[in-house]
């Protein structure tokens, strides 16, 4: 009789342990949210961020206390929820090959290169592991020479998820620069509208560039009406913004 009681007690204990820890969950964002940790989240309870998700492909255990701490900091009551003692979460992962990175990056590269410049070859020099929802959000290309012909240079792409940069991948590029693109965006002597901003007020004046430059460069400009020299950051081929 005692053996039967012992087996029954052990069976009930195992059931209790299983109920206290939830089975593993897969998360896809940069943050683990409350909805990732409970079976059903009532519409009256906000889907708050609990903790940062582990790196893609890895996992961690989130204790009940961490959930309650996050709720307290957000001023959210979880009394109506049945929270597990712990939940093991694993971040979903996408493993990018160098070929996949090159295919995904090429349209973005073309979007930041001067008009007419073509990409002969783009090669990622490293692989990347991100969440499946990560996308390319920025491309940074080294400054190109104003010289016609083939040019070798480097670039960096940024992959982001939920507004956070999750990977930076270096690239080697082989570009073809035509004669039409071998001219600076702003050339010495060209006239632009120089914008001066002070709080909500904005005024502009015609100014003459004193050197060649590209978008984002800070150049010296001579205001046509006063001959005063000011520094301005090139916005586009027709305008610049005064900088201190």
Domain range summary for the chain, segments of one domain joined by +: 19-92, 95-181, 191-242
What is the pLDDT at residue 4? 47
| CA triple 225-240-108, angle to 5 deg | 160
- Which of 224, 217, 168 minimizes the C-alpha distance to 194? 224
- pLDDT tens digits along 55-66: 998 999 999 999
Residue 228's alpha-carbon distances to 68, 140, 205, 208, in angstroms, are 62, 34, 11, 10
Cα 163 from Cα 149, distance rounded (Å): 38
Multiple choice CATH, 191-242, 2.30.30.760, 3.30.1360.30, 3.40.50.300, 2.40.160.10: 2.30.30.760
Count CA within 13 A, CB hemisphere, residue 89: 26
- pLDDT tens digits along 93-145: 999 999 999 999 999 999 888 888 999 999 999 999 998 989 999 999 988 88
94's CB contacts (< 8 A; 6+ apart) are 56, 129, 130, 131, 132, 134
The whole-number average pLDDT for the span 7-33 is 61
- Residue 212 has which token pair? 């060649």
Q: Is the pTM of this model over 0.75?
A: no
Q: Flag whether pLDDT at 6 surpasses 70.
A: no
């Amino acid at each position: 009789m005692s053996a039967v009681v012992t087996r029954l007690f052990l069976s009930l204990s195992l059931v209790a342990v299983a109920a206290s820890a939830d089975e593993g969950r897969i998360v896809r964002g940069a943050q683990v949210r409350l909805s990732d940790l409970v079976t059903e989240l009532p519409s009256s309870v906000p889907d708050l961020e609990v903790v940062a998700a582990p790196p893609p492909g890895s996992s961690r255990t989130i204790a009940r206390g961490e959930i309650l701490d996050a709720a307290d900091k957000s001023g959210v009551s979880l009394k109506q929820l049945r929270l597990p003692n712990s939940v093991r979460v694993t971040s979903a992962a996408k493993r990018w090959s160098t070929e996949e990175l090159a295919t995904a990056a090429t349209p973005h590269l073309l979007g930041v290169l001067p008009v007419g410049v073509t990409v002969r070859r783009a090669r990622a020099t490293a692989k990347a592991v991100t969440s499946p929802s990560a996308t390319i959000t920025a491309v940074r290309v080294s400054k190109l020479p104003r010289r016609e012909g083939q040019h070798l240079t480097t670039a960096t792409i940024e992959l982001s998820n939920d507004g956070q940069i999750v990977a930076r991948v270096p690239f080697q590029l082989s570009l073809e620069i035509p004669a039409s693109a071998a001219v600076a965006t702003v050339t010495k002597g060209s006239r632009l509208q120089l914008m001066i901003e002070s709080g909500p007020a904005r005024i502009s004046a015609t100014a003459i560039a004193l050197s060649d430059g590209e978008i984002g460069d800070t150049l010296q400009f001579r205001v046509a009406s006063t001959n005063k020299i000011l520094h301005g950051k090139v916005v586009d081929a027709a305008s610049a913004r005064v900088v201190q």
